[in-house]
Structure 1
Amino acid sequence: MKQGSSSRRVNEQARQVIAEILMFEVADPRLALVTITDCEVSFDRSVCNVYYSADKGRYDEVAKALKAASGRIRTQMGKKLTWRVAPELRFFVDKSVDQAERIAIALKNERDRRASDARED
């Protein structure tokens, strides 16, 4: 689905506000080193899908912490944004970072293999 500039701006605004709230206003140590990678806000701004990344072994722990903090995050969003409503927050793991890392490792391994094959010739 094609996004207009207004939609992209709203999504980025939500991402920035949520990231700031997590960084400065939520004191849960389980949320340390969590990165908000993207947000998708519904057209009526009633729902915000929030995508995050964290260390691979911490996904469950971070999901529980985000669920516990979602009310506070939503309240703070309502105070910081000029939107009519504070959106319902839905959190999803963004595994694209993990996939990109796996691809980078595979490419490096292939490059190393080709370099060693070239040295043997």
Structure 2
Amino acid sequence: MGGMAKNRFSQGDGPSQRQLRVGELIRRTLSDVLNRAEIHDPDLNRMSITVGEVRCSPDLKVATVYVMPLMGSVKVEEAIAALARNKAELRRHVGGQLTLKYAPDLRFRPDGTFDQLDETRRLFCDEKVRRDLDAADDDDEADDA
């Protein structure tokens, strides 16, 4: 596998601007497609699915799509199964929006951040915790989630 290109990304800089840009474009495209029920799958169209984040691999060949159905509409596993079933069609929509030679392969995963949101909000309201967070900002432990 092309060793050279990979190493550029191994310094822990996080994703490149290009990865972030493509990820955000894919996220918006999939959100629109799902909102407008453009995929011909009645099961999928019955679900309200939020696309929280899309992370692209450095070569932009794989996009990992973090999704969560709206509160209690369906189990996240069912939403992911429905998306995976329609992957080819979703990928076509994405490909139409991107100027890349190949549309990335889409992988769907549960978005864990949603479960934590309320808990996080509650913690943020706690002044003491906020002060602790500011103090801890310099170390990277928070990124281990």
Bin the TM-score by the shorter chain. 0.7 to 0.9
Q: Are residue 52 (structure 1) and residue 64 (structure 2) matched?
A: no
**CA distance in 1 between partners of 2:21 and 2:117 (Å):** 25
Q: Sequence identity of aligned pairs in percent?
A: 25
**CA distance in 1 between partners of 2:90 and 2:115 (Å):** 26
More displaced stretch, 13-22 vs 2-11: 2-11
**CA distance in 2 between partners of 1:44 and 1:103 (Å):** 33
**CA distance in 2 between partners of 1:45 and 1:7 (Å):** 7
Q: Are residue 4 (structure 1) and residue 19 (structure 2) matched?
A: no
Shift of 1:30: 3.6
For structure 2, the residue ranges without an aligned partner over 5 or more in a row are 1-11, 127-145
* Residue among 52, 65, 71 paired with 1:37: 52
Deviations 1:32-68 (A, max 9, x none): 3210000011122111000011235521221211111
Q: Relative to 1, partners in 2 of residues 1:30 and 1:79: Cα closer, same or farther, differing over 3 Å?
A: closer
TM-score, normalised to structure 1's length?
Answer: 0.75
Aligned length: 110
For structure 1, the residue ranges without an aligned partner over 5 or more in a row are 111-121
Code of the residue aligned with 1:42 in structure 2: it is S
Q: Which has the higher helix share?
A: 1
What does residue range 1-121 of structure 1 map to in structure 2 within 5 Å? Answer: 1=12, 2-24=14-36, 25-27=38-40, 28-31=42-45, 32-54=47-69, 55=71, 58-104=75-121
Helix, strand or coil: the match of 1:84? coil
**CA distance in 1 between partners of 2:123 and 2:17 (Å):** 35
Shift of 1:102: 3.8
Code of the residue aligned with 1:92 in structure 2: it is R
**CA distance in 2 between partners of 1:64 and 1:86 (Å):** 20
TM-score, normalised to structure 2's length?
Answer: 0.64
Code of the residue aligned with 1:48 in structure 2: it is A
Shift of 1:6: 2.7
Q: Relative to 1, partners in 2 of residues 1:70 and 1:106: Cα closer, same or farther, differing over 3 Å?
A: same
Code of the residue aligned with 1:65 in structure 2: it is A
